[in-house]
Amino acid sequence: MPFAFELILSALVLAGAVLTLIGSLGLVKLPDFYMRLHGPTKATTLGGGAILLVSVLYFSQKSGDISLHEILITLFLFITAPVGAHLMAKAALHLKTKKVKRTGDYRGE
């Protein structure tokens, strides 16, 4: 494997892992549910995408052919993450989950 390619793969996999960690850190640290929703649904999804991109590049380089079945997971993850986030936010609004004062409400309460 050429050195430059290995360097790119290492940087991408570390970036993906750090983004995943940041998403989970947001899940633990942020004060209320509506803020916590941001970390996992954006940062973690992007991190997963970066890690899957590494997998595509690595197995394409290894077999000398374009390896596409990881794209399936990436696509599925990127399509379903906003849908899941939307449903969770709706459930939290329905249950009137507690929020801190600076979490605003677009209906102007």
Q: Which residues bind other proteins (CB under 8 A)?
A: 1, 6-7, 9-11, 13-14, 16-18, 20-21, 23-25, 27-28, 33, 36-37, 39-41, 44-45, 47-48, 51-52, 54-55, 58-59, 62, 69-70, 72-73, 76-77, 80-81, 83-84, 87-88, 90-92, 94-95, 97-98
95 Cβ neighbours under 8 A, 6+ residues apart: none
Q: Rounded distance, CA 22 to CA 16, Å?
A: 10
- Identity (one letter) of the amino acid at 77? L
CB of 104 to other proteins, least distance (A): 18
CB of 52 to other proteins, least distance (A): 6
Q: Rounded distance, CA 66 to CA 4, Å?
A: 19
What's the token pair of residue 13?
């996999």
